[in-house]
Structure formats: C-alpha cells, structure tokens
Amino acid sequence: MTTLLSSHTPLKRPSHRSKPWWSPILSVLRREFHSATHGSRSSASASDKAAARLSTQGYFKALKAAKKAHWKSLLASATPRSIWAVKKIAAGSCAPRFPNLPDASSPREMNQALLDHFFPPRPCAPLPSILLPFGDCPELTEEDISLSLLNYSPSSAPGPDSIPYSVWKSVNRFSPGILVSLLAPLLPFGNHPCSLKKANRVVLDKPGKQSYDSPASFRIIVLLETVSKILERIVASCLAPIARCTGLLHRSQCGSLPSLSSFDACSALTDTVRTLQPPGRIISSLFLDIKGGFDNVDAKILCSNL
C-alpha cells in the first residue's frame, strides 16, 4: 500500500523562500526532537522525559538562533531596492479590521454609511450636448497604444469588465489595430463615454488606527475599466508636454509627469536650501497635506482658471 501511494502521489516541494533560514542541522534537531518527544510519551522513565526536555530546548533554541542570524544577514545585505521588502517583512501582516460604525447595525446600513462618506451627493450633471470634432487632434497610432500598455502590470486588478491588462497586451501584440479602432474615434470629440467610467470600489482599513468606528478610518480604491485607463494614459501623455510649454504647470512640479519623481522634488528642495545657507539666512519648509482636496474642488472655478 505504501509503495502504491508513493508511486502515485507527488512529493511536496516547498519553496526555498518559505523558510530561507532553514538548515540541515535544524532538520537533524527536529528529527531528534520528535523522536524524543514520542519516546517520552510512551515511557514513564524520568530519564526519557529529561532527554525529551533537553531535545526540545535545544531544537527551539537553535531555531531562534537561525532566524536571528538570517535576519541580521538580510539587514546587512539590504539595498535601496530591497529595503521596502525588508520593511514589509518586519511589519508583518495584520488581521483586517472590520467596520464597527455606531450608527449602522446591519450590513445594509454600514454599506450606506460608507457610501455617504466616500461619495457625498453631487449636483446633477449637465445634459449632454452635441459634440463637434476638433480639427487639430493628433491621430492615434499603434505606437501610442504600445507605449501606454508598457506601463501597466499584467497582475493589476481589473474593473467591472474583468479584462486584465495581460489580455489587452496579447490583443495588441497579435492585432494592434483593434485598440486603435476602439479608442481613435473618441479623441477628436474629446469624449470619455460613461460606459468606461464604471468601476469596482473596494474599502480597505487604514493601519495603525486606534478605533475603526468611523468611515474616516478606512480608504477606498477604485478599480476602473482597464481600457478606460489605457485611454486616460494616452490623453495624459498628450497633455503633459502641452501643459509644460504653455506654462500651466509650475516649474517645480514633479508629480504625475514623465521622467520626474519625488527624488527630483527632494533634489530641488535640497538645492534651494543649500543656496540660501551661505548668506546666513534662516530656512524653513512648510509641508501641507490637503485632506480631500481633489474631491472639494469647484469645477466651475477650476475650468475658469484653466
């Protein structure tokens, strides 16, 4: 029977990443620990129980020492690229927090409370008007589609259509004209259809909160249609150079722009501080975190400023 099972049952092959601190010595100590423990249970001898106790202490002491040594080695060999993975390992995974809202006694009421917090009522949208095409709209090419898809991860969660980016990448690889035919007619009219604005919304807890009895202790992520995100990236790549050339963006703007990142913003701030230090001036920096700024922007004032 044992031979039959071993011939038809594949052996489990655990990943080397599951226990990178494991060693052959620990395997020997674990084998001795199990053997001594089983022997002490079936024997009433005091010497067997003492041997089992010593074997248990030696095994778990060696286990703790191996983990500690591996952690020190991991910290010593950490690079700027891997330091965030080390931080994630050190923080560990915490159990998800469930909303405990005082005014919501049922799942339906809890759902409505979260919706009212994240999506407050807005004025009615204006009626659709007749769209006229723009004459100087650049033509959408297959290269624009390929460059847009290059920035998306195949493992990103899709929206309501359940079509991941890996599917669109395969479609564009074998038949690049499909996406061009789908999106090219929208650009001359400057229209983003309502059908592409549907999204899945996922509520996540904010770690480190003292209590989770308020919707403010949670955040929401919006998973839009993947084809909608492709269209948005294409339009953003067209608008970024125009905004730079026309002066719509501040010269120190680094976010959401190609070839610029937070590193450039830190370098600009450091350069300004070092420039003002030699004359003996007192330098101070003010950082503002505007809560819900985008959601509270008046659309009419924004359009007037633009």
Do 243 and 249 touch, CB atoms closer than 8 A?
yes
**Alpha-helical regions (H) of 165-222:** 165-174, 177-183
pLDDT, average across residues 113-141: 79
pLDDT above 90: residue 136? no
Same domain, 199 and 212: yes
Same domain, 102 and 245: yes
Q: Picking from 8-22, 28-42, 111-125, which range would have the lowest pLDDT averaged per residue?
A: 8-22
**Which pLDDT tens digit goes with each residue over 173-226?**
999 899 999 999 888 888 888 888 889 988 888 877 878 888 888 888 889 999
**Which pLDDT band, with edges at 50, 70 and 90, does 163 fall under?**
very high
pLDDT above 70: residue 96? no
| Range of the structural domain that residue 38 is part of | 20-69
Q: Has residue 175 been placed in a domain?
A: yes
Same domain, 107 and 240: yes
Q: Has residue 79 been placed in a domain?
A: no
Residues 6+ away with beta carbon under 8 Å from 35: 55
Same domain, 261 and 190: no
Residue-by-residue DSSP string for 3-61? HHHHHHSPPP---TTTSTT--HHHHHHHHHHHHHHHHHHH---HHHHHHHHHHHHHHHH
**Rounded distance, CA 219 to CA 144, Å?**
33
**Rounded distance, CA 279 to CA 282, Å?**
9
Same domain, 225 and 244: yes
Average pLDDT over all residues of the chain: 83
pLDDT above 80: residue 48? yes
Residue at a domain's end among 249, 264, 294: 249
**Rounded distance, CA 216 to CA 114, Å?**
9
Total residues found in the chain within this entry: 306
Q: Has residue 116 been placed in a domain?
A: yes
**Which pLDDT band, with edges at 50, 70 and 90, does 172 fall under?**
very high
Bridge-partner residues for 204, per DSSP? 219
Residue at a domain's end among 203, 230, 249: 249
Same domain, 107 and 234: yes
**Which pLDDT band, with edges at 50, 70 and 90, does 299 fall under?**
confident
Same domain, 115 and 150: yes
pLDDT above 90: residue 88? no
Could you tell me the CA-to-CA distances from 224 to 51, 148, 282 in Å, in that order? Answer: 62, 16, 47
**Rounded distance, CA 267 to CA 255, Å?**
14
Using a cut of 0.75, tell me whether the model's pTM lies above it.
no
Residue 155: its pLDDT value, please? 83
**Which pLDDT tens digit goes with each residue over 239-258?**
888 888 888 888 778 877 77
Same domain, 226 and 270: no
Same domain, 146 and 274: no
Instruction: Please tell me the total count of domains within the chain.
Output: 3
pLDDT, average across residues 57-86: 87
pLDDT above 80: residue 98? no
Same domain, 176 and 227: yes
Same domain, 228 and 140: yes
Residue 241: its pLDDT value, please? 83
Helix, strand, or coil here: 143? helix
Same domain, 205 and 244: yes
Q: Has residue 77 been placed in a domain?
A: no
